[in-house]
Structure formats: structure tokens, C-alpha cells
Amino acid sequence: MLFSTYRNTKALLVAMMILTFGFTLFITFGEGHTMHFDVGLNTFAGLFIFGVGMVLAGACTVSTWVKAGEGNIGAVWALIFTFVGMFLFSLVWSVDYWPPAPVSMTGEPNLEALQLGYANAATLQEKFGIPAIVFGLMQVAVLYGIYRAILRKEAIQAGHHREVSESHEASSTPAE
């Protein structure tokens, strides 16, 4: 089993639900300053590569620093190759190289430059006239669905543990 407990996951989900609701409520009333950054295929490729690196290192970059400080040799190797990879990438990166230069990052879809534009609750509110809180509530509903799934899984696990402990108790009592 990957996780023995979902305590931290549940806490993060609740925090995300509260923050999503609050932030989109602010946006609905014209407050809050949303970030605008372009998303393209380069973003998805970078996220995928970063995720693979995290899996191979066994932790995110910050945790890898901590593990290296504790003397974990594998974490030291992961950090060394993180820096090697960044150095090699810096050799091929230029302002005119793909991922596209900022000129092609206009916030609107630009398929020639493989940019998908950007969208957040504020831009969706502007484009469709639907209050941002609606989009926030949709996200809260998805997060709540994940939270409920975790609760169901925990209930099933607790029932299974109860059955196992009852069967062990029944088998350990001496027969008379």
C-alpha cells in the first residue's frame, strides 16, 4: 500500500476547498489579483519530466536536500544530476528557442507556438460572464468527491482490520 494513512491528504484537501472557495469569492467581487501565465505543451512536458525526476529521486527537490543533509547518498546523486540537467539545459536554451519566446505568449491560444493560452477563474468570468465562484464551487465539488472517496476507503480498511482482529481473537481463545 502506498499510504498507510490519509490524514495529511485529507487536511490538504480541506485546505484546498476552503482556499478555492475563498479565492473565487474574492474574484467574483472584483478583488484578488490572479496570476496570468501561459500554458503550453512545454508546460506539460516540463511537469511530466519533473514528476519522473521526483519519482526516481524518491522525493521532491526540497526533501532531497533534507535527505542529502541526513547523509542519504542516493539523494546526493539526485541533487548532483539535478544540477547537471539544469546546466545542460541552460546550454541549449535561448530566448528564441522553443519553448516559444515571450512574443508568442499572448495569453490566447497560439497553436503554431504550441501555446494554449491561459485560463483561471477570473478569465473564465470575463469570457463567459459566469461568476468565478461557480467555477470555484465546481472545483470544491471535485475535491470533496476525492475527500469522500478517501473516507469510504478508510471505512472499508477499518472494517477489514476489525474482522481480522476479531478472527485472531476467536482463534487465540483456548477451546474448552
Better-scored residue on pLDDT, 43 or 115? 43
Whether 2 is in a domain gets the answer no
CA angle 109, 115, 118 (to 5 degrees): 60
Better-scored residue on pLDDT, 144 or 129? 144
Entry pTM: 0.60
Residues 41 and 109 in one domain: yes
Better-scored residue on pLDDT, 126 or 32? 126
Whether 1 is in a domain gets the answer no
What is the total count of domains within the chain?
2
Residue span of the structural domain in which 85 resides: 36-117
Whether 175 is in a domain gets the answer no
Residues 69 and 11 in one domain: no
Q: d(Cα 103, Cα 42) in Å, to the nearest integer?
A: 15
Q: What is the DSSP letter of 101?
A: P
> What integer pLDDT is reported at residue 113 of this predicted model?
63
Mean pLDDT for the chain overall: 80
Examine the pLDDT at 1 and tell me if it is beyond 50.
no
Q: d(Cα 144, Cα 18) in Å, to the nearest integer?
A: 11
**What are 55's three cell numbers?**
519519482
**What are 107's three cell numbers?**
495569453
